[in-house]
Structure 1
């Protein structure tokens, strides 16, 4: 009968281990494909392209011309894996970037298309966006 007294302690210990294991896991749900208008994705996509333009040495802004892949993974926030095609615009970085009025480069010598993969962590309700990695290559 004395062993019955140990059952609540055993169950509490088991529950504690399960919770601790789940808290230590980074991803609670693996990457899934999402649409471009999915929940917090538009802001994350905009942030990614803005960061590319900010970090680029090119004197022209780039605009997205095609979304190739968008995936989301749930962790302590949201993680996004984004593949996009970016094209050089006619707007230089010495002016405010307006994607609506900034056409794509038409001059054959300045025309350029690149493919980028961005990995972004975000906690959108806190306004936290972090570009964890980016890789861009000429298309």
Structure 2
């Protein structure tokens, strides 16, 4: 069987097979010739073959499907992302909520947070934080001398009859690129002592 001979390689020009050469080349040889032709034409080179394309697409789809829900919400406008209560950013936002709450409160003493129960973040025009916090009254009194400079995190907690505990839900808006952060909404209820029973508890005798 007579096989055609290819032209010698020249700089900037691909070697082209002679007549009948394709019949004697396997799949690997055909790929090599295709790469040479693409290189000579200045086109992009790729090693992706039609046989491997479905596998690659399947692997990419699997990677997307196994992403946690928070990963999707993180990039979705209006989506909610659960945050760790110990996250430094959460603790910082809680202090914003505490400062604004104390500023608007009628209490004679400052309150400070004692337990962060839950934290979520929503991407809107900035970040909106939804916080569930337990807080307690302190022995640090409000007055015009210290204004808003009191660091309530170091205020000792009140005890005995002066002790007051609250369970609060806060909504805080943070727009970092405008240096804006403030308490939008809050809802606080007094926490009852475990030994106290609501009126009518225990049923009738």
TM-score, normalising length from structure 1? 0.72
Runs of 4+ in structure 1 over 4 Å off = none
Q: CA RMSD in A?
A: 1.8
Equivalent in the alignment of 2:178: 126
Higher strand share: 1
Q: Which runs of 5+ in 2 are unaligned?
A: 1-75, 192-205
TM-score, normalising length from structure 2? 0.50
When Rg is computed on C-alpha atoms for both structures, the one with the higher figure is 2
More deviation in 119-128 or 56-65? 119-128
Q: Which runs of 5+ in 1 are unaligned?
A: 1-26
Equivalent in the alignment of 1:135: 187
Number of aligned residue pairs: give it. 112
2:123 maps to 1:71? no
SS at match of 1:72: strand
CA distance in 2, matches of 1:39, 1:105: 26
Q: Structure 1, residues 80-139: CA drift from partner, whole Å, max 9, x if none?
A: 000100100010012452334311002x11111001101111102321113221111101
CA distance in 1, matches of 2:126, 2:113: 25
CA distance in 1, matches of 2:178, 2:90: 15
Cα distance change, pair 133–122 in 1 and its aligned pair in 2 (3 A): same
Q: Select which of 111, 114, 118 maps to 2:166.
A: 114
Equivalent in the alignment of 2:141: 92
**Deviation of 1:37 (Å):** 4.8
Equivalent in the alignment of 2:108: 59
